[in-house]
Chain A
Amino acid sequence: MTDTPDTKYPDRSRPGARRLGIGLIAAALCLGPLAALAQTQIYDARTKKWVDYDKKKARQYFARNNQVPEAFRRQAVPFRTAEKPGTIIIDGNQHFLYLVQPGGQAIRYGIGVGREGFGWAGIVRVGRTAEWPTWTPPAEMVARDPNAAKWAAGMPGGPDNPLGARALYLYEGDQDTIYRIHGTVEPWTIGLDVSSGCIRMNNDDIVDLHSRVEIGAKVIVLMQGAALYKGV
């Protein structure tokens, strides 16, 4: 199941979301060929070569190891920044989310991010959070996907819900951007460009992040893909 921004409300009610939409369209039109150059690679210790890491390889790796490659697992890393502890930084190109800690450190989590044409950038904040959130498919998904149509009024939270165990709702000022940081029912997709703009994490990781962040926390989303900036 493909996750999407929670489009419970129409875009025209939210200027921030409308600007984002324009940015995404522009990104899709202008950056398709360049964004296509981005490819996750992992190091194969057996052959000592970097190899492309796509959906097929990700599924195989997860089936063999029951976890994602080590680089995408939660870990403390050095992080030089003037940002305050508690700030979230999202590097969609490298598929990492950083939670700034004191002492030049950060907790790094692996993430799945927007597929080609769905990347975005901006400085937003955590407006609210939810445990086992409800997922409401967007109208276009309801129209094309019978499985989504049965949840047109909202899918209750639970282990089969594509938003996973927790969700952090990203706001620009007081406006919901429609983007979220959330869990997933497809843990093998961490490290890939798969979503419609949301940032997905393994359920264990989103539960951990949720327990550490405060409402209002600053979230810096770095530009994903090539050089077109249309922030929120």
Chain B
Amino acid sequence: MFFGRPSGIGDKGGHPIPQETDDRQTIGEERTVVSKGMLRSKGFVAAALALAMIGGCQSPPKPEDMARTSLQTAPADLQLLCAHAVAGTAQVDSTKVLPTSSRALDATSYSVDLDAGGRKFNCVVDSAGSVKSVTPV
């Protein structure tokens, strides 16, 4: 059972390349004519700035998030959202459904294994709390 698809994927195909991309290329070519030494120097500065910006973008976690475990399990509320979804799918009392393990699939989604009164299920949920699939195992 699937519930929709991840948003923002495959929605923008077929759009023409913006003209401004070509403008930037022209400006870059003009600069190479001026001075290769200057370009090397400016290139170095630009690279350093880019690295600094990347470093700056890696902001530290919020104080309340400054602890974790090396086992990348799903957050508790996401595990329980899966349990609720499985209870509906399996038509069993929610008190009989318990997550038994979980793991991160990627940066934004988790896989949760569940026991529903002896029947095994797998659930995929994203970090926004949207249950993507519930499948019997």
- Chain A interface: which size bin? 35 or more
What are the residues of chain B within 8 A of A218 when measuring CB–CB?
95
> A120-143 vs B: 1/0 string, CB under 8 Å?
011100000000000000000000
Shortest Cβ distance from B71 into A: residue = A38
Interface pairs A-B: 10 shortest CB-CB: A71-B67, A227-B101, A229-B100, A43-B66, A91-B76, A39-B70, A70-B63, A38-B71, A93-B73, A80-B129
Q: Does A77 contact B (CB under 8 A)?
A: yes
A residues with a Cβ closer than 8 A to B are: 37-43, 45, 48, 50, 53, 69-72, 75, 77, 79-83, 89, 91, 93-96, 98, 106, 108, 121-123, 191, 218, 220, 222-223, 225-229, 231
Which residues of chain B from 46 to 81 have any CB-CB distance to chain A below 8 Å in the complex?
58, 60-61, 63-71, 73, 75-81
B residues with a Cβ closer than 8 A to A are: 58, 60-61, 63-71, 73, 75-81, 84, 94-95, 98-101, 113, 115, 129
Name 9 extra pairs, CB < 8 A, besides A38-B70, A91-B76, A94-B75.
A38-B69, A69-B67, A80-B77, A80-B129, A81-B84, A91-B75, A121-B100, A227-B113, A231-B115
Please state if B73 and A94 are interface contacts (CB–CB under 8 Å). Answer: yes
- In angstroms, Cα B66 to Cα A106, docked, is 18
From known contacts A43-B61, A93-B71, A227-B100, infer whether A69 and B77 are also in contact, taking CB-CB under 8 Å: no
- In angstroms, Cα B61 to Cα A71, docked, is 10
**Partner of A42 from B67, B76, B84 at Cβ < 8 Å:** B67
**Partner of B70 from A41, A77, A228 at Cβ < 8 Å:** A41
Please state if A220 and B100 are interface contacts (CB–CB under 8 Å). Answer: no
Please state if A50 and B68 are interface contacts (CB–CB under 8 Å). Answer: yes
What are the residues of chain B within 8 A of A77 when measuring CB–CB?
64
Please state if B80 and A81 are interface contacts (CB–CB under 8 Å). Answer: yes
Cross-chain pairs A/B with CB under 8 angstroms, 17 sampled: A37-B70, A41-B69, A41-B70, A43-B60, A43-B61, A69-B66, A69-B67, A70-B64, A71-B67, A82-B80, A83-B80, A94-B69, A121-B98, A121-B100, A223-B98, A227-B100, A227-B113
